[in-house]
Amino acid sequence: MRATKRRRSAAVSRDSFLSAVDLFCGAGGLTHGLMQAGIKVEAGIDVDPQAEYAYRSNNPGAVFLQWDLGSKNCRSIAQLFRPGAIRLMAGCAPCQPFSKLTNGAGTHEAWDLLDNFGRFVRGILPDLVMMENVPELADRGEGVFGRFVNTLRRCGYYTDWRVVRCEEYGVPQARRRLVLLGSRIGEITVPEGSNGLRSQPRTVRQAIGALKPLASGQEDPGDSLHAAVRLTSQNLRRIRATPHDGGTWKHWPKSLVLPCHRRATGRSYSSIYGRMWWDRPAPTMTTLCTGLGNGRFGHPEQDRAITLREAALLQSFPRAYEFWPPEETLNRKAVGRMIGNAVPPRLARALGEALVSHLGRRTISARAWG
């Protein structure tokens, strides 16, 4: 992977009255959005060592800690906050146990991570709490989400949670997420998207339309994340047979249709191998979104699947965001996992701004830190 020189995002001011710790931080999407909202993030914690470069490179001033939170006590987390500041504990516990794409969720190794989040809240009592996860958590969490909310309420937090549509917060992607905010300071509400239902959301064209055109297997010389996976000859025939701007496999000749799609049970899965629409938000980015057969991840008009860079932009990461050390061979699977699992920075920024607004001038002056 070649090094590319890009302008880094400005660091948040050191005199921020809010001190945050990001649990399960991954590549730093949540941290990045909070910093854009003016919140000082002290540290990001994640068990994945492959996330360290992305987190540290794009979020100046925040320390990356490769910790297994299941083995940490409350004191180790509490000492990360800046003394005297208003404390925000934020995070997105890995969502695999709750996702509708996961089978056997009850035995998943990450099942207890939200309980650990609750354990830290109970033991530390931060002033503010932010949690983001998949919508299925509320329905399939088998009591995990209910325990988390009850923990907050027993500890004196006002809470509000809802399932939000990320495209209403400026994310060029149709992504639904469960968001919870908690405050020991006063009543709090999850903000409505600034776009609202009356405004046009950001589109695929706006997010990736200016990138260098690529063919299957081709790479942008200036950005190795903007590299298209080389398609097999059969899949190349399939994408060429798919009409531009929203076409699907239902437009293919019979010789190209997969056996699973010929069965009655497979006919409703029209998005598989489909192209995105230029002037709509993208579908939900997943960890496998650069694979043509994993969803509607075909480019609107170029004969290929989307690239890692395009996936990151559709998640609302800045164009300059770096995910992998330039001196190392790019690990596409690791970067795809980081992008697909990330909290969209634009959503995180909107939530961070809501917390700043929630505190207000009276609270800031009352809790001013030295």
- Strand bridging mode 86-91 / 128-133: parallel
Helix (H, G, I), strand (E, B) or coil at 145: helix
Label residue 135 left, alpha or beta by phi (over 0 means left) and psi (-120 to 50 means alpha). alpha
Rounded Cα distance between 248 and 96, Å, is: 28
Would residue 95 show up in a list of annotated catalytic residues for this protein? yes
Do the beta carbons of residue 4 and residue 20 sit within 8 Å? no
The one catalytic residue in 95, 166, 260, 289 is: 95
CA distance between the termini of the chain: 44
Do the beta carbons of residue 88 and residue 37 sit within 8 Å? no
Q: What is the DSSP letter of 88?
A: E
Nearest by Cα to 297 from 167, 170, 173, 164: 173
Helix (H, G, I), strand (E, B) or coil at 104: coil
Provide the token pair at 100: 């509708």
Rounded Cα distance between 80 and 39, Å, is: 15
Identity of the amino acid at 339: I
- Give the residue numbers marked as catalytic: 95
